[in-house]
Amino acid sequence: MSDSYDVVVIGGGPGGYAAAIKAAHLGQKVACIDKYINKNGQPALGGTCANVGCIPSKALLDSTWKFHEAQGELSIHGIDVGNVSMDVAQMIKRKDDIVAKQTGGVAMLLKANGITWLQGTGKLIAGKKVEFAPHEGDAQVLEAQSVILATGSSPIELPMAKLQDDIIVDNTGALEFTEVPKRLGVIGAGIIGLELGSVWSRLGSEVVVLEAMDTFLPMVDKQVGKEALKNLKKQGLDIRLSARLTGTAVKDGVVSVEYTDANGDQMMEVDKLIVAVGRRPITEDLFSVDSGVNLDERGFIFVNQSCATDVPGVYAIGDIVRGPALAHKATEEGVMVAELIAGHHAEINYDCIPSVVYTHPEVSWVGLTEEQVKAQGDEYKTGMFAFMANGRAVAANETTGFVKVVSDVATDRVLGVHIVGPQASEIIMQAVIALEFGASTEDLQLMVFAHPGLSEVLHEAMLDVDGKAIHSVKRKRRK
């Protein structure tokens, strides 16, 4: 094993492994160091996303939605599936098989691209060198022309809700319950709390979600957030806003959860508690004080728009730097820095990064919300169209929600698109393309959308900006 590389990447998540692959595509000699050990005690690539994040959570969301449909929703189609039951062990095994496939796929890609996978811990030291401590064997120092830091994030822990066996858990433990908890508490109505709360609620858990803030999904368009909250509550998620956790105690397998809300001190008992109150960047022991790398005021690695740190030739990407903690953002940053290292021009349009909450209905958005545009003092218009009035949505019995468009009055440019409804995670990509190309609402109004399709709701929302939606009885112009 050589100890000299063109590029050394520390972290093999969606940021790090994508950076490694792109750098290899561009002719560099690359090593990727990753320290993750999975629940079987094996090293595994793919980071949080593939092992305990995006992929396993979606596997469980898909399994449980099918169960939910089989339990009742299919009967409207005339399908009688009789008594339905869920084999939780099989559901978890399917999830584990999917994770194994994904992480194995990443390992295969690294191998196919001639990238050296170093299993252990990496640390940047002075002189742009990397200290590598393998899981087994002696540490060594690697020389590198360029270093990419991509160590991701870990769940924020609350001192008053310390993780305990499989009773008080974080997002990792919440993917591993061996049976459906009768009563499930969730701390934090963020994306993880809502997605994993939905998983267990669909299987029959009585789920209470405590959220410290008084606003539901504050980063989301207000109308979209209101519609999502209404539907999640209808599904049985008991979401309590302005409810701040103050303490927990575990006795005889039951968690007593103390919290305060507008009415004062409260207490509830649950069988399992998921703590999902945000994530923090993994920067401890990642760089020595004399490495030259600095943190920003929020504890992320300080980088510029191009993900360059204060040390020439050292970059940082993904969850350890500013911006949304999203896998696709990490990946695009990885690709960008690999291009920059190879001497090419590359940049990311941070205004066009989509977000999705994979609940039912799904919530997705890109660009500015109406509230943000209003706060900027710009003149804007909005258009809205409901899935209820769309033939494909009616045929699929998926009529909840709407698409909302925010556009600039002076230029007609689309500023933001916000969706709550079926396939919101897919439809939003059409909006991303529109924003990326600086499209006007008129551009999208004039395009032909296939019928019948859920995307027609996006088309009609664009038309509605000028009061021109075809399938709307309310044709008044909106602001």
Give catalytic residues, as residue numbers: 451
**Bridge partners for 37 per DSSP:** 43
| Closest C-alpha to 367, from 189, 217, 220 | 220
Whole-angstrom Cα distance, residue 36 to residue 262? 42
Torsions phi, psi for 101 (to 5 deg) = -65, -45
Residue partners of 417: CB distance under 8 A and separation at least 6:
365, 366, 367, 403, 404, 405, 406, 428, 431, 434, 435, 458, 461
Rule CB under 6 A: say whether 245 interacts with ligand NAD. Answer: yes
Q: Which residues bind ligand FAD (CB under 6 A)?
A: 10-16, 33-36, 47-49, 53-54, 57, 121-122, 150-153, 171, 192, 282, 286, 318-319, 325-328, 330, 358
Three-state DSSP at 14 gives helix
Can you tell me which of 188, 197, 383, 421 binds ligand NAD, judged by CB under 6 A? 188
Minimum CB distance to ligand FAD smaller for 127 or for 278: 278
Q: Which does 121 bind (CB under 5 to 8 A by kind): ligand FAD, ligand NAD, none?
A: ligand FAD
Q: Residue 108's closest CA among 12, 213, 28, 40? A: 12
Of the pair 108, 249, the CB lying nearest ligand FAD is at 108
**Minimum gap (Å) between residue 58 Cβ and ligand NAD:** 8
Nearer to ligand NAD, 158 or 447 (CB): 158
Nearer to ligand NAD, 48 or 407 (CB): 48
List, in sequence order, every residue forming a beta bridge with 257; answer none if it has no partner. Answer: 248, 268
Smallest gap from residue 428 Cβ to ligand NAD (A) = 12
SS3 356: strand
Site mask for ligand NAD (CB under 6 A), range 295-334, x = bound: -----------------------------xxx--------
Selection from ligand NAD, ligand FAD, none that 190 binds (CB < 5 to 8 A by kind) is ligand NAD
Are 19 and 335 contacting, i.e. CB atoms less than 8 angstroms apart? yes
- Does position 173 interact with ligand NAD (CB under 6 A)? The reply is no
Residue with tokens 């957030």: 225
Provide the residue count of the chain: 479
Q: Tell me whether residue 228 or residue 293 sits nearer to ligand NAD (CB atom).
A: 228
If one asks whether residue 170 binds ligand NAD (CB under 6 A), the answer comes out as no
Q: Which partner from the list ligand NAD, ligand FAD, none does 213 bind, CB cut-off 5 to 8 Å by kind?
A: ligand NAD
Count of residues near ligand NAD by CB under 6 A: 25
Q: Among residues 66 and 244, whose Cβ is nearest to ligand NAD?
A: 244
For residues 215 and 229, give the distance between their C-alpha atoms in angstroms, rounded to a whole number: 10
Could you give the C-alpha distances from 255 to 156, 197, 206, in angstroms and in order? 20, 17, 14
Per the CB < 8 A criterion, the answer to whether 129 and 141 are in contact is: yes
| Contacting residue, 149, 150, 186, 189, with ligand NAD by CB under 6 A | 189
Site string for ligand NAD, 279-298 (x = CB under 6 A): x-------------------
Buried b (16+ CB within 10 A) or exposed e, 107-120: bebbeeeebbbbbb
Query: Which residues, at least 6 apart from 149, have a Cβ–Cβ distance to it below 8 Å?
Result: 10, 11, 124, 286, 287, 293, 301, 309, 314, 315, 316, 317, 320
Q: How far is the CB of 280 from ligand NAD (least distance, A)?
A: 10
Q: Which of 432, 431, 423 is nearest to 399 (CA)?
A: 423
367 binds, among ligand NAD, ligand FAD, none (CB under 5 to 8 A by kind): none
Q: Give, as ranges, the residues between 348 and 407 that touch ligand NAD (CB under 6 A).
A: 356-358
Least separation in angstroms between residue 88's CB and ligand NAD is 21
- Residues near ligand NAD (CB under 6 A) are 158, 187-193, 195, 210-213, 244-245, 276-279, 324-326, 356-358
